[in-house]
Amino acid sequence: MRERAGIRAEAARLKALFEVAGARSVEAPVLVPAEALLDLYGEDIRARAYTTSDTLRGEQMLRPDFTVPVVQMHMEHGAEPARYTYAGEVFRRQEDDAGRANEYIQVGYEVFERDNPAAADAEVFALIQSVLNGLPLRAATGDIGLLTAAVSGLRTTDRRKAALMRHIWRPRRFRALIDRYSGRAGMPPTRAALLADPDPMVGAAPVIGQRSPDEIEARIAALREDAAAAPISEGEVALMDALLSVRETVPYALEQLRDLAVDMAAIAPAVERLKARAGAMAARGVDVERLDFEASYGRTQMEYYDGFVFGFHAEGRPDLPPVATGGRYDALTRVLGQGSEIPAVGGVVRPGLMLTLREGRE
């Protein structure tokens, strides 16, 4: 393992840079109540975070990142707008790859601001890019907001849209749902039999457990309604596929997306936001002409991001995790804020990996 003092010094240097950029330095607890994380991420978080417990506070997790504690802190007593920075260890459970660190230092920069999201996105990206300057990294960007806009614009039932939205971050289930709603995949025979049965609850096994018969009847009614709904058209599925496969530099991606928006009007505002963001980035000196954009980027790794997403990856080192990642997480503040919300965007860098790459250069 790299010498900790060196990584700490690098972390302190980065944090000082973030403070110069206007952020207030904040601390966060190492132990986070498990319930908040489980509610947000579901059971999968257990594969990524270490869980511990005592008889007084119940289950706690060693913080897998700072986002949740920083958002909670801000929602409780933060002034607006606010910029925060922090540096400290995060803990990631590793069950398959012993070569990956289970404890490392992250330095972060988070912006909570209502006005001009394009400018805030650009500010975070440009700042993170500037502190990484000189390292052999490739930046990737994406925008989950395009995908959610496309789903909400589908000409189909609200129930189907809600199911697709719920699985934006699970591409495999998302694809299976699209296939079924469009009729590409047939109905499972057991479901066909269920729907053909006028009274499927007759003769069923005894009622046990907390899921009640009326919940089952409600779902059967929903399935019947779904079976009667028109399939999502081939044309719409083709547009969705085309959207998901956009992978270009920002100017060409914008061109392709504008073409798609002609037939997919729902994404037009999201495309405009992307254009505004590109403009704001260029104004901050980011070379957007050569910046990569992938419409599918961030779908599998970054569950709570719901708008702009980005990552910096070490070139020629696919074995290394990204050196920096970030994005917009408005929905997270909505969930944690219990009624209140504030648009938020942020990013983190890993000083340990930066030192590793810098040494590799020398």
Partner 1 sequence: MSVKLGVPSKGRLMEKSFDWFGARGVKLARSGSDREYAGAVEGIDGVELVLLSASEIPRELAAGRIHLGVTGTDLVREKLGGWERQVEELAPLGFGQADLVIAVPGFWVDVDTLDDLDAAAAAFRARHGFRMRIATKYHRLVREFLREQGVADYQLVDSQGATEGTVKNETAEAIADITSSGDTLRANHLKILSDGLILKSQATLFRSRGSNCSQEDRVVMAELMARLELD
- Per rule CB under 8 A, is residue 227 in the interface with partner 1? no
Question: Which residue's entry shows tokens 């660190």?
Answer: 101
Tokens in use for 97?
């790859």
Task: Provide the residue type at 108 as one letter.
Answer: G
- Per rule CB under 8 A, is residue 47 in the interface with partner 1? yes
- Per rule CB under 8 A, is residue 96 in the interface with partner 1? yes
Q: Are strands 82-91 and 24-25 parallel, antiparallel or unpaired?
A: parallel
Which span (23-31, 35-43, 128-136, 241-249) binds partner 1, by CB under 8 A?
35-43
- Per rule CB under 8 A, is residue 44 in the interface with partner 1? yes
Tokens in use for 274?
């992307």
Number of amino acids touching partner 1 (CB under 8 A): 42
When binding is defined by CB under 8 A, the residue of 57, 114, 219, 290 that contacts partner 1 is 219
Q: Identify the bridge partners of residue 143 per DSSP, sorted by sequence position.
A: 308
Comparison of 174 and 305: residue with beta carbon closer to partner 1? 174
Specify burial of residue 275 (Cβ count, 10 A radius: 0-12, 13-18, 19+).
Answer: middle
DSSP, collapsed to helix, strand or coil, labels residue 239 as helix
The rounded distance, in Å, linking the Cα atoms of 89 and 27 is 11
The values of phi and psi at residue 321, to 5°, are: -70, 165
Question: Which residue's entry shows tokens 């901050």?
Answer: 284
312 assigned binding-site residue? no
- Residue 303 Cβ, how far from partner 1 at the closest point, in Å? 10
Binding-residue pattern over the window 142 to 171 for partner 1, x denoting contact by CB under 8 A: ---------------------x--xx--x-
181 assigned binding-site residue? no
When binding is defined by CB under 8 A, the residue of 97, 115, 158, 362 that contacts partner 1 is 97
When binding is defined by CB under 8 A, the residue of 19, 33, 40, 46 that contacts partner 1 is 46
Decide if 136 contacts 270 (C-beta within 8 A). no
When binding is defined by CB under 8 A, the residue of 201, 238, 265, 283 that contacts partner 1 is 201
Question: Which residue's entry shows tokens 């530099």?
Answer: 249
Interaction site with partner 1 (CB under 8 A): 38-39, 42-44, 46-47, 94-98, 163, 166-167, 170, 172-174, 176, 180, 188, 190-191, 194, 200-201, 204-211, 213, 215-216, 218-220, 223
